[in-house]
Amino acid sequence: FLAEYDALPGVGHACGHNIIAAAAVGAGVALARVLDRAGLDATVLVDGTPAEETSGGKLPMIDEGLYRDVDVALSMHPDTRDTAGGTCLAVKTLAFAFTGRAAHAAAEPEKGVNALDAVIQTYNNINALRQHTRPDVRIHGIITHGGQAPNIVPDYARAEFYVRSAHLDYHKEILEKVRNCARGAALATGARLEMTEEPAFEPIRENAVLCRLALEVMRAFGLDAEDWSGRCSMGSTDFGNVSQVVPAIAPTFKIAPLTVACHHKDFADAAASADGDAAVLVAAKVLAVMGARLVLEPDLLRAVRAEFVRK
Ligand SMILES: [Zn+2]
C-alpha cells in the first residue's frame, strides 16, 4: 500500500494526500490483522512515499529495488468521482538557465548579452511549438529569474517548464523539440545555455484485471464506481513509474462535488471534512479487501501478473 502524504505550498492538502496516507495505513493494518488471524503467509508493506507533487519520492525507491519482490501495489486518490482504471500523462521538468553579459542598458547596450531575451525567445519558441503537437501534449512554464534592474542588461535569466504527453515515445520527441527551442534562443542571443532535467514521471500502465477487481469491491461497498479504463487524466504522478515495474492501481474516491478543483483551497477543505473522513474509511476497506482477495485467490494474482506482462 502506497501512502503519499505531501502537501502543496500555500493551499495545504489541496491534493488530499492526507487521505491517501490514512487510507493506506488503515488498509495495511486491517489486512495484516486478517492475514495473521487466518495464519496466512503473506507480507503487507505500507510505504510512505514523499514528494509526489515535486521530485517524485517513488523514483529512488524503485531504483533501490523496493518493489522488486512486491506482487501488487495498491493506492488511492481522493477525487470528485469514484473511479477505477485509466492512465495519465508522462511529465518531465526542464530548466533552462542562460548566462549573458551585464552592461549599462542605455549607455552601452552593445556591450551586453541579454539573458532575459534568451528566456523570452525560448518561451515564444515553445508557444509556437505548442500549436503543432498532438492534443495529449501539455507544456507549461514560468520564468524564475528575469534580471536585477531595468538599467542593467540581464546577465542571468532562467525558466522552468513541465512537458507532458500520454505516450512515452512521443514524449521523447517533444522533449527534444523543447530543448531545441532553448538551443535556438541561445544561438540567436549569444547567451550561454545550461539545461537541467528531472527524471520523468511515466504514464500509468493500466491493468484490466486489477481494474475489474477494484470496481467489484468498490461497488460491493455501495460506491457508484465508474470504469475509467482507457481514459487519460491530464495530470501526472510518480505512481505511474511504480505501475511500470509492478502491477498497480489507485482507484479514486469522491470527497467533493464535481465543481471543486483539485489543487484549490476548496479541495483542501474537503480533504479535512466528514466526507473526506468517510473516504478514508471506505478506501481503507476497499484496498484491504482487494489485498485479501489477491492473497486468497492465487488464480486472480496470476491473471493480474499475466495482464501486466501482456501490456
Ligand atoms: Zn496534486
Residue 234 — very low, low, confident or very high, per pLDDT cuts 50/70/90? confident
Helix (H, G, I), strand (E, B) or coil at 192: strand
What's the rounded mean pLDDT across residues 29-38?
A: 96
Q: 224 CB contacts (<8 Å, ≥6 apart)?
A: 82
d(CA 70, CA 308): 13
d(CA 216, CA 59): 30
The overall average pLDDT reported for the chain is 97
Compute, in angstroms, the gap from residue 237 CA to the centroid of ligand 1.
8
DSSP letters of 224-287? Answer: --EE-TT-EES---THHHHHHHS-EE--EEE-S-TTSPTTSHHHHHHHTSHHHHHHHHHHHHHH
Compute, in angstroms, the gap from residue 16 CA to the centroid of ligand 1.
8
Helix (H, G, I), strand (E, B) or coil at 75: coil
Q: Read off the pLDDT of residues 125-147 as tens digits, 9 standing for 90 and up.
A: 999 999 999 999 999 999 999 99
Residue 199 is classified by DSSP as P
Residue 233 — very low, low, confident or very high, per pLDDT cuts 50/70/90? confident
Compute, in angstroms, the gap from residue 53 CA to the centroid of ligand 1.
6
Q: Read off the pLDDT of residues 23-33 as tens digits, 9 standing for 90 and up.
A: 999 999 999 99
Q: 99 CB contacts (<8 Å, ≥6 apart)?
A: 115, 155, 156, 191, 192, 194
d(CA 178, CA 123): 10
Residue 115 amino acid letter: A
Closest CA to 155 of 181, 122, 189, 183: 189
Helix (H, G, I), strand (E, B) or coil at 104: strand
Alpha-helix runs per DSSP H in 39-93: 58-63
Residue 108's pLDDT is 97
| Inter-residue contact 82 to 226 (CB < 8 Å) | yes
Residue 309's pLDDT is 95
The neighbour count for residue 309, using CB atoms within 10 Å, is 8
Q: Would the pLDDT of 259 be above 90? A: yes
Compute, in angstroms, the gap from residue 6 CA to the centroid of ligand 1.
9
Residue 204's pLDDT is 95
Phi, psi torsion values for 83, nearest 5 degrees: -145, 160
Q: Where are the domains of the chain?
A: 2-87+203-310, 90-197
> What's the burial of 235, exposed, middle or buried (CB within 10 Å: 0-12/13-18/19+)?
middle
Compute, in angstroms, the gap from residue 260 CA to the centroid of ligand 1.
14
Compute, in angstroms, the gap from residue 217 CA to the centroid of ligand 1.
25
d(CA 3, CA 5): 6
2-87+203-310 maps to CATH 3.40.630.10:
yes
Grid cell locating 222: 455501495
Compute, in angstroms, the gap from residue 253 CA to the centroid of ligand 1.
15
| Inter-residue contact 108 to 194 (CB < 8 Å) | no
Compute, in angstroms, the gap from residue 49 CA to the centroid of ligand 1.
14
Residue 112's pLDDT is 98
| Inter-residue contact 88 to 240 (CB < 8 Å) | yes
User: Which value, in Å, is the radius of gyration of the alpha carbons in the chain?
Assistant: 23
Q: Read off the pLDDT of residues 243-254 as tens digits, 9 standing for 90 and up.
A: 999 999 999 999
What's the rounded mean pLDDT across residues 230-252?
A: 95
Compute, in angstroms, the gap from residue 95 CA to the centroid of ligand 1.
21
The top-level CATH class assigned to 90-197 is alpha beta
Compute, in angstroms, the gap from residue 212 CA to the centroid of ligand 1.
25
Closest CA to 99 of 161, 158, 159, 185: 158
Q: Read off the pLDDT of residues 75-98 as tens digits, 9 standing for 90 and up.
A: 999 999 999 999 999 999 999 999
Compute, in angstroms, the gap from residue 264 CA to the centroid of ligand 1.
10
Compute, in angstroms, the gap from residue 118 CA to the centroid of ligand 1.
31
Q: Read off the pLDDT of residues 185-194 as tens digits, 9 standing for 90 and up.
A: 999 999 999 9
Compute, in angstroms, the gap from residue 161 CA to the centroid of ligand 1.
17
Q: Would the pLDDT of 228 be above 90? A: yes
